[in-house]
Structure 1
Amino acid sequence: MWNMEQFVADCRTAVDQDASHKSVAEVVDRAMRDPASVTQALGEPTESGIIPIYKSTDLTIVNVIWKPGMTVMPHNHEMWAVIGIYGGREDNIFWRRVADDPEGRIEAAGARALSTGQCAPLGKDLIHSVTNPIPKLTGAIHVYGGDFFEAERSEWDPENLTEHAYDMAKVRSLFED
């Protein structure tokens, strides 16, 4: 049976022993081997949200629940992340900066779909957008190698792909609408 307090402790120990994402990825991978247990411990998602589980200067753990059809614009984290899906699906488009573009534009560079029970690391410099393409809520545990809520980072306008300062309030409102 998955236990949130033990998961936090295991992530905390992993970061204390190895500041990279590698040890945390092993912890998340173990949890996602039994996604039903994670769902049982957290509760079946009933509404979208960004629910903090743990936050420090070098580690943030968040329960992210995506509503059907929801898309979050391209953004970066300025820290590594490990994403584990405990229910539903999350489609990621990966982006790269267009060389010498004065407005910081990006272009698509790849994609990856994550389904229930899967997890994936995201590098510190990665830019991605996320969509829940299915007609039900998607639940995911996101683990970040830093303070996700306070980090200065960027987002890109979804229409013209120009870079701007990340707006956490705007992102939170996407989950609340």
Structure 2
Amino acid sequence: MDLERFVGDCIAANNGPHPQAAVLEVLAKAIHNPSAMLTAVGEPREAGIKVLHRSKSLTILSAAWTPQMNLMPHNHLMWANIGIYTGREDNILWRETPDRIEAFGAKALFAGDAVSLPVDVIHSVTNPLLRFTGGIHIYGGDFFDTTRSQWDPETLKKEPSDGASIRRMFELENKRMRGRDKL
């Protein structure tokens, strides 16, 4: 697995007439051999995101979830493709109601799986395993320059999502892992 070539192939696919489907095809091919992608990006050792590419039209990340990590419901406001190269990612799909959001579906992704999420999706993510999960997340836009929303995990009330709140969540997860390792 050559990460530079993978990123280049995603960029080229994104310039076609059906970018999400074309990029998903590139991702699915790369994730088909999850151990090769794992070798290319490295074994996850902490929660976080590693930016592989960022432009106005495409963001490619390697994301790692700690064991049993939960990410509150959130939106992207752009299409997303997710491919898992190690572990498992459980997604709950949500829809907005006048007062909050309600769950309406779920999807479990295993190593080697790749899936598309539409522009308007709201989802939460859980790593149910006692080991790290790693995935490639590709977004049809500049993920870091888009004002998004998240929903409080207890009340399911909508609130703004920003980089600081996400960084804090990753920091807390890594702190939790360091404490767990001392046991």
TM-score, normalised by the number of residues in structure 1? 0.94
Q: 1:107-159 CA distances to partner (integer Å, 9 max, x unpaired)?
A: 00100000110010000000000010100010100000001111011111111
RMSD: 1.0
Q: Which residue of 2 aligns with 1:129?
A: 124
Q: Which residue of 1 aligns with 2:53?
A: 54
Identity of aligned residues (%): 49
Q: Which residue of 1 aligns with 2:42?
A: 43
For 2:93 and 2:130, locate their aligned partners in 1 and report how far apart those are by CA, in whole Å.
23
- Compute the displacement of 1:167 (Å): 2.2
* SS of residue paired to 2:145: coil
For 2:150 and 2:128, locate their aligned partners in 1 and report how far apart those are by CA, in whole Å.
21
Structure 1 segments (4+ residues) deviating >6 Å: none
Q: Which residue of 1 aligns with 2:105?
A: 110
- Compute the displacement of 1:19 (Å): 5.2
Unaligned runs of 5+ in 1: none
For 1:20 and 1:3, locate their aligned partners in 2 and report how far apart those are by CA, in whole Å.
21
- Equivalences, count: 172
Q: Is the 8 A contact 1:19 1:145 kept in 2?
A: no
Q: Which residue of 1 aligns with 2:176?
A: none
* SS of residue paired to 2:144: coil
- Compute the displacement of 1:81 (Å): 0.3
* SS of residue paired to 2:74: strand
For 2:92 and 2:140, locate their aligned partners in 1 and report how far apart those are by CA, in whole Å.
21
Amino acid at match of 1:72: L
* SS of residue paired to 1:45: coil
- Compute the displacement of 1:89 (Å): 0.4
Amino acid at match of 1:81: A
For 1:5 and 1:141, locate their aligned partners in 2 and report how far apart those are by CA, in whole Å.
14
* SS of residue paired to 1:73: strand
Q: Is the 8 A contact 2:76 2:143 kept in 1?
A: yes
Amino acid at match of 1:32: I
Q: Is the 8 A contact 1:50 1:172 kept in 2?
A: no
TM-score, normalised by the number of residues in structure 2? 0.91
Q: Is the 8 A contact 1:50 1:175 kept in 2?
A: no
Q: Which residue of 2 aligns with 1:141?
A: 136
Greater per-residue helix proportion: 2
Q: Which residue of 1 aligns with 2:163?
A: 168
For 2:44 and 2:151, locate their aligned partners in 1 and report how far apart those are by CA, in whole Å.
28
